[in-house]
Amino acid sequence: MKTVDMADLRHEMVEDQVRARGVRDALVIKAMNTVPREAFVPEKLQEFAYKDSPLPIAAGQTISQPYIVAFMIETLALRGGERVLEIGTGSGYAAAVLGEIASEVYTVERIEQLADYATKTLNSLGYHHVHVRCGDGTLGWPEQAPFDAIIVAAGAPAIPESLKLQLKVGGRLVIPVGNDLTSQELIRISRKSQTKFKSEDLADVRFVPLIGEEGWHDESDQQSIAASARHPARFGE
């Protein structure tokens, strides 16, 4: 499809899927209108890039539905210029949206194939302030901490303590949490002081499992994890 067609589809997506569902943050709207989602999906699926659904990418993973990306980023209440940590890079789409708002984005992906793909795509689009690491996202990126905001794109059985400790006082952490691999509650944690945190329940969601030292373990339930991974991240399911 022609670039102009994609731009029109991107605008329609923002109006019909994002704004119509209540996302109003001007910085988020502008970012969603700017980032070419088609660049972050397999070539054979680019015509579906702006559909109201997640899409499969490499390694059995998914790129989240556009609305859930916008909704989660809006809950971070970014105002521009922040340092943000993302856990679960995937193909790099949400990191690019964050990169339109934040001054520095650090994103961790446990699957090397996806980390490499995201790095190449982000660099090709000029997002040189978005830094990708392949590793255990449940441990965060301690060398670059603290962060103004942290966003996690996978479901955890509990909030990783490492991520809480890498959050600045006054910062916010958004993460899906639940002891069921197929559904979670989206939670926002606000750090009030060195020792005090406030927790808010935002929505019911379904994400692939957050695997790592402070998350789910590969060997803990292979069959359930594989089944969950086949169900993409989608808001409200």
Q: Grade residue 119 by pLDDT with cuts at 50, 70 and 90.
A: very high
The dihedral sign for the CA sequence 109, 125, 106, 96: negative
Q: What is the CATH number of the domain that holds 194?
A: 3.40.50.150
- Average pLDDT in the 168-173 region? 98
User: What's the CA gap between 35 and 100, in Å, rounded?
Assistant: 8
Amino acid at 74: E
Q: What is the pLDDT of residue 229?
A: 45
Record the tokens describing residue 83, joined without a space.
């340092």
Write out 164-228 in H/E/C secondary structure.
HHCEEEEEEEEEEEEEECCEEEEEEEEECCCCCEEEEEEEEEECCECECCCCECCCCCHHHHHHH
Among 167, 215, 209, 212, CA closest to 192: 167
Q: What is the pLDDT of residue 234?
A: 46
Average pLDDT, the chain: 91
Domain span at 190: 3-235
- Average pLDDT in the 130-138 region? 98
70's CB contacts (< 8 A; 6+ apart) are: 14, 18, 23, 28, 29, 32, 97
Q: Which residues on neighbouring strands pair with residue 177, listed in sequence order?
A: 156, 185
* Tens digits of residue pLDDT in 58-78: 999 999 999 999 999 999 999
List, by residue number, the catalytic residues.
64
Q: How many domains does the chain have?
A: 1
Record the tokens describing residue 89, joined without a space.
């890079």
Provide the percentage of residues in the chain whose pLDDT is more than 90.
Answer: 86
pTM of the model: 0.90
User: What's the CA gap between 199 and 103, in Å, rounded?
Assistant: 26
- Number of residues that make up the chain: 237
